[in-house]
């Protein structure tokens, strides 16, 4: 399985400690652990934190061929504040990942590569430069699955971004709090989970719609049926990266088995494990490795 992840690499600052992160990077890290050959399209500042981020990507097994360098803009950072394990974010603007350059990707050989899956979100689309780069990739390359994790962040999304993203994606993931927002953006009315999933599949071409619901598990809409997949109860430490690990496990298992409900049950277990751990990319337990079918 070859995966291309698009978007931000940044540093999450949690209780004074620096953790490499960004949803697309966390996703790339976890799906690499799940057995994928993973490449990232991102951009780092030519600074200390950029150099460290690049080395972290390499250590985690992510291929850095399409990670760009910016001599003017800094590497992204986010201040993360936790309350009862739930994060709130201050996302710094005008950073390197806002200025992804499609022509640089072409020079790096992107068009000569082929990938099974492409993953992207909303945050990296907040700036026109990176947004344009994203859509040029989607117009230029072909993927078996295109995964859009809505992942709304305050002041970093719009109805236009969401609706344009839905035109390309085949697998949509959002959380239960985002359903009324996205349904209003997309269908001009606030909707419940099942009604939204039905219309997203019928009118927006989503093959699979995933709605996560925290510790309660998730909902999977596939082939005209909504499935409730129970979660695993854990003591939450912090939820940063839990959703990204869910995405990685879901796509890895769906690619292997072709069963989205089973894939979601495995994804719930990895997401719960990450939520019960410190940092977005903790070391997997032996039990998890067996469940994920990895060495």
How many other CB atoms sit within 10 Å of the CB of residue 109?
10
Buried b (16+ CB within 10 A) or exposed e, 226-250: eeebebeebebbbbbbbbbbbbbbb
User: At 192, is the secondary structure helix, strand, or coil?
Assistant: coil
Instruction: Give the CA distances from residue 127 to residues 62, 135, 145, 183, 192, in Å, rounded to whole numbers and listed in that order.
Output: 25, 13, 25, 23, 31
For 173-207, the pLDDT digits (tens) are 999 999 999 999 999 999 999 999 999 999 999 99
How would you class 198 by CB atoms within 10 Å of its CB: exposed for 0-12, middle for 13-18, buried for 19 or more? middle
Query: What pLDDT shows up at residue 154?
Result: 87
For residues 90-100, average pLDDT: 96
Task: Give the mean pLDDT of the chain.
Answer: 95
Query: What pLDDT shows up at residue 18?
Result: 85
d(CA 101, CA 131) in angstroms, rounded, equals 10
Kindly give the pairing relationship between strand 208-212 and strand 171-175: parallel
d(CA 86, CA 80) in angstroms, rounded, equals 10
Phi, psi torsion values for 182, nearest 5 degrees: -70, -35
- Angle at CA of residue 204, ends 230 and 179, nearest 5°: 45
pTM to 2 decimals? 0.94
Query: What pLDDT shows up at residue 202?
Result: 97
Residue 85 in contact with residue 278, Cβ under 8 Å? no
For 160-178, the pLDDT digits (tens) are 999 999 999 999 999 999 9
Query: What pLDDT shows up at residue 255?
Result: 97
């Amino acid at each position: 399985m070859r995966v291309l992840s698009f978007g931000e690499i940044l540093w999450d600052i949690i209780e004074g400690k620096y953790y490499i992160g960004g949803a697309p990077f966390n996703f790339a890290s976890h799906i690499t652990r799940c057995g994928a050959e993973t490449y990232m399209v991102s951009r780092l500042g030519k600074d200390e934190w950029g150099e460290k981020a690049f080395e972290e990507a390499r250590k985690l097994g992510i291929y850095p061929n399409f990670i760009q360098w910016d001599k003017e803009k800094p590497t992204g950072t986010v201040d993360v504040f936790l309350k009862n394990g739930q994060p709130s974010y201050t996302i710094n603007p005008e950073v390197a990942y806002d200025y992804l350059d499609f022509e640089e990707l072409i020079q790096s050989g992107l068009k000569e590569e082929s990938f099974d899956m492409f993953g992207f979100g909303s945050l990296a689309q907040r700036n026109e430069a990176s947004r344009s780069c994203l859509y040029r990739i989607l117009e230029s390359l072909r993927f078996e699955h295109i995964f859009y994790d809505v992942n709304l962040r305050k002041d970093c999304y719009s109805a236009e971004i969401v609706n344009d993203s839905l035109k390309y994606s085949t697998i949509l993931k959002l959380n239960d709090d985002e359903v009324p927002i996205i349904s209003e953006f997309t269908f001009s009315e606030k909707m419940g989970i099942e009604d939204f999933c039905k219309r997203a599949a019928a009118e927006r071409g989503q093959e699979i719609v995933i709605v996560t619901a925290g510790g309660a598990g998730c909902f999977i809409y596939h082939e005209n049926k909504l499935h409730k997949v129970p979660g695993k109860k854990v003591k939450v430490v912090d939820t940063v990266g839990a959703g990204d690990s869910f995405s990685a496990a879901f796509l890895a298992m769906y690619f292997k088995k072709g069963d989205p409900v089973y894939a979601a049950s495995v994804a719930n277990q990895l997401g719960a494990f990450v939520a019960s751990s410190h940092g977005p990319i903790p070391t997997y337990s032996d039990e998890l490795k067996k469940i994920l079918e990895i060495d």
